[in-house]
């Protein structure tokens, strides 16, 4: 395999020397060089075999003209880069040989006219755009004159003149039609070429804008560096070329053709982190080569480290805040319990010893019980908030009948007059769904309490089943929600301006959103111009597998 690669590389090297490198010569220039070399070889061989083949003397003169003319054309194109002049010389050599063949090998009835049309197509594609029209006109005039000269200056019997004229007209028509077709195809080709040039220019500009941030290098099939972009000088801090190439070559992964990796480099004593994107491609000769795109990500790594430190610091602060909230909540429970017990004891003493005074003091006792209960509720919410911030809440999933769960909740948590204001409706085929009973009760109670608190009219509780999800809607007809409040409604401790005179902590809807997300669901709100709001809770009938792995499941 190594010998084959060596032979192929050597052959490609000599071919490149003869035709010119593809990076600096166009396809037309390389094609002209190849045709010139072949024409010289054929002319020299024919000259050496002239006497053995007993060719007419005109061929000796023709080949004597073709050989030096084509050699001059090759020299002008390959070494002096005079492509147009070289092509004109080459075409003149073609015309001489075609003229010789045309009048000595059958004329109009021979192979010469068809060969003229064939090379006419080749030459047309080799010419530059500015010479196309001139060449087409010249070629058609040349073919027409050659056919006419062959017919009217040759001794032809009258009976053979008509077929010969018909053949000449066919050749002229064929050459004319091929010229028109070539012109149209080439015009379309130029449109595509201009579009590709525009795209290429855009890509070059894009590459130029980022080339200082990347090193692009290529390694050929023999393991040698064949290309290194100029950005290496900047990124490698102007290391000597040999040392820079050795350092770059050490980044090549010899075991894998395509890999993305990160390495640490030491350049002039300082450490740099680089990301390497290595891929394998094939050149025009189907020889494999590796292309590496190397990016210095030292600054990025530095910023990542700073970001991680900042996130860790923020996490520690949040944890301290949550721990403080939890500690304060627990510390307040003891005095609240003491106040509650003391209030109960005083109420009992008055009721037992002076029952006639009990109705006087009972409203005061109720105020104390209500204040203690409200404060305990606020502490419970703060405790829940601390648990959510530290991700300490677990789900205890159960498969339950959702309508039955809601009906039982209404009976337990609401008085008869409040239940009468709640219009509960179920749509669709009921099915058991998975949810945490404690958290789901918290969600529904919070939505219902808000609706009852901010609306004096009846509210709608609408449960609708779908194929794989269930929607619970709560619609009230109260004071509504402002446009400004819609943007902050689910943020913790947020209270809308039109609700500041109503008791609350601003945590309820925040909990609703968090608890819904824990179930893989969502909560949305819609404000109505005529008043009121419509909250829609959407839950999956079965909690996703990714969530089930993190929770306790009770079938």
- What was the pLDDT predicted at 153? 53
In angstroms, the CA 1 to CA 6 distance is 9
**Residue 540 in contact with residue 521, Cβ under 8 Å?**
yes
Pairing of strands 396-400, 422-427: unpaired
pLDDT at 536: 92
Number of Cβ within a 10 Å radius of residue 69: 20
**476 Cβ partners below 8 Å, 6+ apart?**
450, 451, 452, 454, 455, 457, 459, 532, 533
More confident residue, 491 or 109: 491
Q: What is the helix (H) or strand (E) element at residue 464, kind and residue range? A: strand 459-465
* Residues in a beta bridge with 425: 462
* DSSP letter for each residue of 277-293: EEEEEE-TT--EEEEEE
Residue 12 pLDDT more than 80?
no
Band of residue 473 on the pLDDT scale cut at 50, 70, 90: very high
CA distance 102 to 104: 6
Using the predicted structure, report yes or no on whether residue 547 has a pLDDT greater than 70: no
Q: What is the pLDDT of residue 281?
A: 86
Tell whether the model's pLDDT for residue 550 goes beyond 60: no
In the DSSP assignment, the letter for residue 500 is T
Choose from 96-110, 153-167, 434-448 the range with maximum mean pLDDT. 434-448
Neighbours of 386 (CB within 10 A): 21
pLDDT value at 492 more than 60:
yes
Residue 238's φ and ψ, nearest 5 degrees, are 55, 40
Assess contact for 265 and 271: CB atoms under 8 A.
yes
Q: pLDDT class for 494, splitting at 50, 70, 90?
A: low
Q: Cα–Cα distance between 346 and 17 in angstroms, integer?
A: 112
Residues β-bridged to residue 291: 218, 279
DSSP states of 104-170: HTTGGGSSHHHHHHHHHHHHHHHS-GGGHHHHHHHHHHHHHHHHHHHHHTS---HHHHHHHHHHHHH
| CA of residue 522 relative to chain centroid, distance | 29
Q: Which of 137-141, 178-182, 415-419 has the lowest mean pLDDT?
A: 178-182
Residue pLDDT, tens place only, 263-306: 888 877 788 888 888 888 887 777 888 888 888 888 888 888 88
Report the run of H or E that residue 538 belongs to, with start and end: strand 533-540
- With 0-12 CB in 10 A as exposed, 13-18 as middle and 19+ as buried, what is 309? exposed
**Burial of 351 by CB count in 10 Å (0-12 exposed, 13-18 middle, 19+ buried)?**
middle
Show contacts of 437-440: CB within 8 Å, 24+ apart. 437/396, 437/398, 437/400, 437/405, 438/396, 439/393, 439/395, 439/515, 439/518, 439/519, 440/405, 440/515, 440/519
- Rounded to 5 degrees, φ, ψ at 385 are -65, -40
Query: How remote is the C-alpha of 56 from its chain's centroid?
Result: 69
Residue 247: alpha-carbon gap to chain centroid: 32
Q: How many helices (H) and strands (E) does the chain have?
A: 17, 13
Q: State how beta strands 422-427 and 259-267 pair.
A: unpaired
Q: In this predicted model, what pLDDT tens digit does every residue of 343-362 receive, in sequence order?
A: 777 877 777 777 777 777 77
> Which residues have a Cβ under 8 Å from the Cβ of 278 and sit 6 or more positions away?
252, 253, 256, 257, 258, 259, 260, 261, 290, 291, 292
Distance, in Å, from the CA atom of 142 to the CA atom of 160, rounded to the nearest integer, reads 23
Residue-averaged pLDDT of the chain: 76
pLDDT of 333 above 50: yes
How far apart are the C-alpha atoms of 323 and 316, rounded to whole Å? 10
Rg (CA), the chain: 46
- DSSP per-residue codes, 176-220: HHHHHHHHHHHHHHHHHHHHHHHHHHHHHHHHHHHGGGEEEEEE-
Please tell me the predicted confidence (pLDDT) of residue 548.
Answer: 47
User: Does 235 have pLDDT greater than 80?
Assistant: no
The residue among 486, 485, 491, 525 whose CA lies nearest residue 508 is 491
Return the pLDDT at 553. Answer: 40
CB 523 within 8 A of CB 535: yes
CA distance 327 to 321: 10
Reading the block at residue 462, the tokens are: 């609408």
Q: Are strands 422-427 and 459-465 parallel, antiparallel or unpaired?
A: parallel
Beta-carbon-side half-sphere exposure of residue 212 (alpha carbons within 13 Å): 3
Residue 212 vs residues 125, 207, 218, 236, 470: alpha-carbon distances, Å: 39, 9, 17, 11, 55
pTM: 0.40
């Amino acid at each position: 395999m190594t010998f084959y690669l060596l032979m192929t590389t050597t052959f490609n090297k000599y071919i490149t020397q003869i035709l010119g490198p593809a990076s600096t010569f166009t396809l037309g220039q390389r094609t002209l060089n190849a045709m010139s070399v072949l024409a010289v070889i054929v002319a020299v061989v024919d000259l050496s075999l002239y006497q053995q083949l007993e060719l007419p003397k005109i061929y000796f003169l023709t080949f004597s003209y073709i050989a030096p003319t084509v050699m001059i054309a090759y020299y002008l194109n390959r070494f002096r880069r005079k492509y147009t002049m070289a092509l004109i010389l080459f075409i003149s050599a073609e015309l001489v040989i075609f003229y010789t063949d045309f009048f000595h090998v059958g004329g109009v009835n021979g192979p010469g006219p068809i060969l003229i049309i064939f090379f006419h197509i080749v030459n047309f594609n080799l010419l530059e755009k500015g010479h196309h029209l001139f060449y087409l006109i010249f070629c058609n005039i040349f073919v027409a004159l050659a056919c006419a000269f062959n017919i009217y200056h040759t001794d032809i019997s009258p009976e053979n003149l008509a077929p010969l004229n018909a053949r000449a007209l066919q050749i002229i028509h064929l050459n004319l039609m091929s010229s028109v077709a070539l012109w149209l195809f080439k015009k379309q080709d130029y449109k595509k070429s201009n579009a590709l040039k525009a795209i290429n220019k855009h890509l070059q500009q894009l590459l130029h804008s980022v080339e200082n941030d990347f090193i692009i290098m290529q390694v050929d099939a023999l393991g040698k560096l064949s290309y290194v972009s100029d950005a290496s000088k900047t990124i490698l801090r102007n290391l000597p070329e040999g040392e820079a190439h050795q350092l770059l070559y050490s980044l090549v992964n010899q075991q894998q053709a395509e890999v993305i990796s990160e390495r640490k480099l030491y350049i002039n004593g300082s450490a740099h982190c680089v990301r390497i994107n290595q891929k394998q491609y094939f050149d025009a000769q189907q020889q494999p080569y590796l292309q590496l795109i190397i990016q210095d990500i030292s600054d990025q790594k530095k910023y990542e480290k700073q970001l991680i430190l900042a996130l860790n610091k923020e996490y520690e602060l949040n944890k301290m805040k949550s721990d403080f909230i939890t500690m304060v909540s627990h510390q307040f429970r003891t005095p609240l319990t003491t106040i509650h017990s003391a209030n109960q004891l005083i109420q009992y003493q008055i009721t037992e010893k002076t029952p006639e005074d009990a109705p006087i003091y009972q409203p005061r006792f109720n105020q104390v019980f209500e204040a203690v209960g409200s404060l305990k509720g606020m502490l419970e919410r703060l405790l829940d908030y601390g648990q959510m911030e530290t991700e300490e809440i677990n789900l205890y999933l159960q498969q339950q009948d959702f309508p039955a769960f809601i009906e039982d909740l209404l009976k337990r948590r609401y008085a008869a007059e409040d239940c009468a204001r709640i219009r509960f409706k179920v749509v669709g085929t009921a099915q058991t769904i998975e949810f945490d009973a404690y958290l789901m009760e918290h969600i529904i109670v919070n939505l219902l309490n808000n609706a009852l608190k901010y609306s004096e009219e009846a509210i709608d509780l609408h449960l609708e089943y779908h194929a794989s999800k269930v929607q619970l809607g709560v619609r009230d007809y109260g004071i509504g929600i402002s446009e400004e409040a819609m943007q902050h409604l689910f943020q913790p401790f947020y209270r809308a301006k039109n609700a500041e005179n109503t008791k609350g902590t601003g945590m309820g809807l925040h909990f609703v959103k968090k608890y819904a997300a824990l179930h893989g669901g969502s909560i949305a709100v819609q404000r109505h111009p005529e008043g009121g709001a419509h909250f829609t809770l959407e839950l999956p009938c079965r909690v996703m597998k990714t969530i089930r792995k993190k929770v306790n499941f009770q079938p």
